[in-house]
Chain A
Amino acid sequence: MRCRKCGTNAVINMRHHKLSLCAEHYEEWVLAQTDRAIEKYKMFTRDERVLVAVSGGKDSLSLWDVLLRLGYQADGLYIGLGINEPLPYSDVSLEKTRAFLSSVIVRSEATKQSPSSDLEIASQKTLAMTHTPTLHVYDIPQTYGKTIPEIARAKMRGQGRPCAACGLTKRYVMNRLALEKGYAVLATGHNLDDEIAVLFQNTLRWQTGYLARQAPVLPASREGLVKKVKPFCRFYERESATYALVRGIEYIYDECPHAVGNLTNFYKTLLNRLETESPGAKLSYYLEFLRARGEGAFEQFNKVEELHACELCGQPTSAPGRCAFCRMWDISAIVQPLHRPLGQV
């Protein structure tokens, strides 16, 4: 298949867009589409500091790469979960994240001095980063004395899988660190396949409350909550993977050992089968959902929860007294006055 723009060998055929592109024009397309999504959904501006949640995976590293190339002030947050059995998953993912940051800085310096392609010459201002990125590393075992699997077992949370404990911890740390370090917005690498797997699950169970709240942007609806955005929400997972390969981004290929056989992957498999038979089905499912949501289809299910500040950490919670994070990690056992920065004991 040939690139629609220049006729050279294509690296990707996007049937749903009826578009095949070579490596160079695919990169250009990803950058343009991301910028368009950021603008369309009013995610953030170039004057605002963005914190990208990075895990060492293809989506988050690709997102960070794209945002830097587009000239956004994007820093990374890596949360060490201590998942190193049976494979050194957390150790490898941190290694990949650090290696990515080093390569981005080196590549940026090289581009400033001698752009190597017409694409780079034409848009040197954009591709040469204007922001020197920082990587914040927050290690859960080091801070709280237990890994995620250990705390899940200790608290019997998640029926043998640490996913519930993992999700609670990551969301808490991302939100709180983003606010404490003065970021305007938290960006995650969720792609369209991630979004429709959740959408599919919520539809199967008619979780109308969740359907009402699923969107590319979660606004900072109250004090203590940071605005959350998903700039990659319209990219298929294979598009994100293609970008990573084309850019030479080394990411962790292994799945989290606790994710193997999970429902989300099963739903993704089903939806990919649908896409194979009916190109564009996945994109249509998501975009039509957003359109229906925008027209108020789920408004009646959007219940505003009563939130108050956790009596220990001050983060918003619907539970009385302490929030779920402070309860799970037994924060009462550590002296931690309200508003003390996260991680300081």
Chain B
Amino acid sequence: MQITYRDKKYELKANITARDAIKKIGLDPESVLVVVNGKLVTDDVVLREGGEVKLVAVVSGGM
């Protein structure tokens, strides 16, 4: 399963929650939002193989 964060791709095993995936990548769940197949989801969602998973950094840009 591939997860994208700030244009970097991370390979993880599927069937874990987004929250666990975020922590495995070394990020804080408070600092990212989870978008699966283009839809915003909460971090308790279980990530399956084949889906497009993107983590959106919460701290970004200007004000």
Contact = CB atoms under 8 A, between A and B. Distances in A.
A252 B61 CA distance: 5
A30 B2 CA distance: 32
A215 B11 CA distance: 44
Given A238-B33, A241-B33, A245-B35, A58 B42 contact: no
A332 interface: no
A253 B32 CA distance: 12
B58 A254 contact: no
Interface in A235-259: 236-238, 241-242, 245-246, 251-256
Interface residues of A, number: 42
Interface string B20-63: 00000000111111010001111110000000000011111111
Given A1-B44, A245-B35, A246-B40, A251 B60 contact: yes
Contacts of B44: 1, 13
Interface residues of B, number: 21
Given A188-B63, A252-B60, A242 B28 contact: no
Given A13-B43, A20-B42, A242-B40, A272 B30 contact: yes
B40 A276 contact: no
A99 to B, nearest CB: 14
Interface in A9-37: 9-13, 20, 23
A190 B62 CA distance: 10
Interface stretch (A49-57, A145-153, A200-208): A49-57
A211 to B, nearest CB: 22
A59 B33 CA distance: 15
The residue in B30, B44, B60 that gathers the most chain A C-beta atoms within 10 A of its C-beta is B30
Contact of A58 (B32, B43, B61): B61
A265 B31 CA distance: 11
A59 B40 CA distance: 18
Contacts of A190: 63
A251 B63 CA distance: 10
B28 A58 contact: no
A84 to B, nearest CB: 14
Contact of B58 (A20, A55, A241, A252): A241
Contact of B28 (A54, A265, A272): A272
A57 B62 contact: yes
A97 to B, nearest CB: 10
Contacts of A188: 63
Contacts of B57: 253
Given A11-B40, A242-B33, A275-B30, A53 B63 contact: yes
Contacts of A273: 28, 30
A241 B58 CA distance: 6
The residue in A10, A238, A265 that gathers the most chain B C-beta atoms within 10 A of its C-beta is A238
B63 A268 contact: no
A197 to B, nearest CB: 10
Given A1-B42, A246-B40, A253-B57, A238 B63 contact: no
Contacts of A246: 40
The list of the 10 closest CB pairs from A to B, nearest first, reads A55-B62, A57-B61, A57-B62, A272-B30, A252-B61, A11-B40, A1-B42, A189-B63, A238-B58, A13-B42
Given A238-B30, A242-B33, A245-B56, 9 more contacts: A12-B42, A13-B44, A55-B61, A57-B61, A60-B63, A241-B60, A265-B59, A269-B28, A272-B31
